[in-house]
Amino acid sequence: MASTGAVRGYKMNTDGMQELYKYWAGTIPGLKADKITAMIDRFGGIEDAFYASEKALEDMAKKCGEEGIRFTERELKAIIQGRNFDAIKRNLEYLKEHGIKYVTMLDDSYPYKLRNIYDPPFLLYFKGMMFPSDKKAISIVGARNCSVYGMETARYLAGALAREGIIIISGLARGIDSHAHIGALSADGTTYGIMGCGIDICYPPENINLYMDMQQNGGIISEYGPGINPLPYHFPMRNRIISGLSDGIAVIEAKEKSGSLITVDLGLEQGRNIYAVPGRITDKLSAGCNNLIKMGAKMVTSPQDILEDLVDYAKVLRTDSESGQIKLAGLLDSREQAVYDAIGLTPVHVEELALLTGFELGELMEHLISLELKDLICQPVNSRYTRKL
C-alpha cells in the first residue's frame, strides 16, 4: 500500500503517534468498541493494527469471525480508508483549537463504570473537566414538557445531592434535564451533560448558557464528533452513556411511555439503582414514575433516600437538618406561615389561596409578596404561586 509507506515517512514522538492511532481507532465509522478491541488484540498493539496490510486485516477479520466477531466488508473498508495521516492530524488540531478533549478505552482515565456496560463507546469527546471515576454519580432524567412540580423537584434534588459531592448527570435536554443541571450548578456542584449530537453543538440551542456554565463545573460529554447533527436515533444511544456513567438513575417526571424509561431499562441492564419521584395518581406526567415505584423502583421523597445508598450513613443524618422546611424557623409570622402552608408545588391561584386561608384578597397579597421577597415562593404563571424548594 502506497499510503502506508508515506505514513512511515513522518517523524513524530511516540506519544503523539500513539494519540494519533487511538484517535484513528476511535473514529472508524460504524465500528463498535468490541470490534476495535478485538482488532487491536489480534495485532498485539494499536500501532501494528494501524500499519497492517490489507491482507493482514483480512486474515484478522477471518480469525475474529471464527470467534464470533464478524467484520463486514464495509467495516474493513472503513478501517483502511481511515488511515489517512493528514486527515487525522487535521482533526486532532481542530479538536485542540476548539478545546475539545477525548478519551478512549485504551486510556486509564476512561470512566471506569462505563467500561463494564454493554456496548460502551470506544471514544468519548468531552469539554470541560475530565469525568472523575472515583466519585459517585446520579443521573436525573425526566420529561421535557414538565410541570412546575417537576422543575422544582429536579432543582431541589440535584442541588441537595450535588452539595454532598455527588455528580449530577443528565442529558441537557429541555425540561427536567435542564433544571437538574441548573440545580447542581446553583449548589456549586459538579454536573455533566451527555449530548446526543456533536460535542460542539448546543442542542437545544436555548440552553447555551447552561452549556457554557457546565464546562466550568463539570463538562459536556458526547460520543459524537464535532459537527454531527442531533438525529433522533442518537438519543436512545446517549441514554446508555447517561445510565452507564452513573450509580443510580432518578426519574422525576415521566409519562407512561417516555424516553426516560429507556434510560431506566438500560440502567437496569447495567445494574444501576432506579429511583423515582412519586406524583399524584391523576397526573399524566407522573404515571411513568408511579409505575416504576410499583415495579420496585425506590421511591424518593427526599434527597436522603438517594444519599443513604451512596454515602456514609452518618453524613446523611447531618444533611437532614438542611432540608427545605427548617430554614423557615423565625422567618415567618403565623399569618405568613398559614399562607405558606397552603402553597404546594403545584401552582395555586390566588383565589384558591383566599378560600384555603380565609384571608381577604388584599391581605393575602401582602403576605404573598412578603413570601416572594423572602424567596420562599415564586410565581411561575401569572396569579399562581408555588413553593420554592
- Residues at the site binding another protein, with contacts judged by CB under 8 A: 144-148, 151, 174-175, 178-179, 182, 204, 206-207, 210, 282-285, 347, 349-352, 354, 361-363, 365-366, 368-370, 372-373, 375, 378-384
Count of alpha carbons within 13 angstroms of residue 19, beta-carbon side: 15
Closer Cβ to another protein, 47 or 352, answer by number: 352
Query: Do residues 284 and 150 touch, judged by C-beta distance below 8 A?
Result: no
- Shortest separation between residue 30's beta carbon and another protein, angstroms: 33
- Shortest separation between residue 384's beta carbon and another protein, angstroms: 6
Closer Cβ to another protein, 9 or 362, answer by number: 362
- Shortest separation between residue 7's beta carbon and another protein, angstroms: 49
- Shortest separation between residue 335's beta carbon and another protein, angstroms: 12
Closer Cβ to another protein, 15 or 375, answer by number: 375
- Shortest separation between residue 196's beta carbon and another protein, angstroms: 17
Closer Cβ to another protein, 26 or 279, answer by number: 279
- Shortest separation between residue 146's beta carbon and another protein, angstroms: 7
- Enter the C-alpha cell of residue 301: 421523597
How many CB atoms sit inside 10 A of residue 303's CB?
26
How many CB atoms sit inside 10 A of residue 56's CB?
14
- Enter the C-alpha cell of residue 369: 409578596
Closer Cβ to another protein, 9 or 232, answer by number: 232
φ, ψ of residue 12 in degrees (nearest 5): -155, 150
Closer Cβ to another protein, 295 or 381, answer by number: 381
Give the dihedral of Cα atoms 208, 209, 212, 213; nearest 10 deg: -150
Query: Do residues 219 and 126 touch, judged by C-beta distance below 8 A?
Result: yes
- Shortest separation between residue 317's beta carbon and another protein, angstroms: 32
C-alpha distance from residue 123 to each of 51, 97, 102, 290 (Å):
20, 19, 7, 36
Nearest by Cα to 364 from 354, 349, 355: 354
Nearest by Cα to 276 from 122, 139, 168: 139
Helix H or strand E encompassing 141: strand 137-141
Sign of CA dihedral 274, 279, 285, 287: positive
Closer Cβ to another protein, 101 or 335, answer by number: 335
Measured between alpha carbons, how far is 85 from 319 in angstroms, rounded to an integer? 54
Measured between alpha carbons, how far is 264 from 255 in angstroms, rounded to an integer? 13
- Shortest separation between residue 312's beta carbon and another protein, angstroms: 33
- The type of residue at 68 is G
- Shortest separation between residue 363's beta carbon and another protein, angstroms: 7
Query: Do residues 63 and 70 touch, judged by C-beta distance below 8 A?
Result: no
Closer Cβ to another protein, 266 or 332, answer by number: 332
Query: Do residues 217 and 193 touch, judged by C-beta distance below 8 A?
Result: no
Closer Cβ to another protein, 2 or 373, answer by number: 373
Closer Cβ to another protein, 57 or 185, answer by number: 185
- Enter the C-alpha cell of residue 23: 484517535
φ, ψ of residue 35 in degrees (nearest 5): -75, -35
Q: How open is the CA angle 243-94-237, to the nearest 5 degrees?
A: 20
- Shortest separation between residue 286's beta carbon and another protein, angstroms: 9
